[in-house]
Structure 1
Amino acid sequence: MKTTLEITAEPLPRDLAFLGERLTAFNDGDVGASDRKPLVVFVRDNAGEIVAGISGYTAWGWLYVQWLWVDESFRGRRIAAGMLDAAEREALARGCHGAWIDTFSPTAARVYERQGYRPFGTLPDFPPGRHRIFLQKRLA
């Protein structure tokens, strides 16, 4: 059977969904169902506007924080810490035993370390001139 290699920066949503479904089926058969569920925490101001948020998911007993953002005018108020605490409590309620996050911001890495996260790896020059830092925390 002949195959064709395709490279695209604009994949069709149905093609991405197909890929995700196939990988999920493989992983479920290999290591068991992930029980993957989105986990999002928002902080809103008095007008209801989002001023901070976390987006990630829980799977295989771990919380992964993919995005964490705090509006500049709200930084320095421990909002990130409060969101992480809330996300970790929810992850514990879902049966998670650990959490991980990554960043290339030295300032963010210090915030995460104050929250009990510990580095477990780095990727140099990602982006150039910085290191992407991977951190983890055991949840209790």
Structure 2
Amino acid sequence: MKTTLETTADPSPQELAFLGEQLTAFNDGDVGASGRKPLAVFVRDERGKVVAGISGYTAWGWLFVQWLWVDEPLRGQHMAGTMLEAAEREAVARGCHGAWIDTFSPKAVKAYERQGYQPFGALPDFPIGRSRIFLQKRLLAL
């Protein structure tokens, strides 16, 4: 089979979906089905506008928090902790035993540690001058 190598900054959604499907099929055959399921938590204002939220998923018994954002006026009011608690409750209901999150914000690291997350790894200079910190937490059935 003759092959070519292509590097692109503009992959098609179909090609990315194909890669995801192929990797999922490989992983399912290697370690079993992930049971991957999206999970989101939103905080809305009186007009229904999202003013804070979490987006992630559960898979293989873990909650992964991919995005966590709080609008500036709500910061410092334990909103991140409240959302994490809600996401963790749902993850436990789905049978998860652990959660993980990463950040390069020193303030966020402190907030996650207050919620019981412990660092387990770091990438220095990601971005330059900071470290990307990976944190995990053992989830207990409620």
Secondary structure class of the residue paired with 2:56: strand
Unaligned 5+ residue runs, structure 2? none
Report the counterpart of residue 38 of structure 2 in structure 1.
Answer: 38
C-alpha distance in structure 2 between counterparts of 1:5 and 1:15, whole Å: 14
Q: Deviations over 1:107-139 (max 9, x none)?
A: 000000000000000000000000000000000
Alpha-carbon distance, 1:60 to partner:
0.1
Alpha-carbon distance, 1:97 to partner:
0.1
Q: Deviations over 1:1-52 (max 9, x none)?
A: 1101011111111101110000000000000000000000000011111100
Pairing 1:118-133 to 2, within 5 Å after superposition: 118-133=118-133
TM-score by length of 2: 0.98
C-alpha distance in structure 1 between counterparts of 2:91 and 2:58, whole Å: 7
Report the counterpart of residue 103 of structure 1 in structure 2.
Answer: 103
Alpha-carbon distance, 1:62 to partner:
0.1
Instruction: Give the percent of matched residue pairs that are identical in Structure 1 and Structure 2.
Output: 78
Q: Match of 1:62, as an amino acid? A: W
Q: Deviations over 1:80-112 (max 9, x none)?
A: 000000000000000000000000000000000
Report the counterpart of residue 9 of structure 2 in structure 1.
Answer: 9
Unaligned 5+ residue runs, structure 1? none
Number of equivalent positions: 140
Q: Match of 2:13, as an amino acid? A: P
TM-score by length of 1: 0.99
Pairing 1:37-116 to 2, within 5 Å after superposition: 37-116=37-116
Alpha-carbon distance, 1:71 to partner:
0.3
Moved over 3 A (4+): none
C-alpha distance in structure 1 between counterparts of 2:138 and 2:126, whole Å: 26
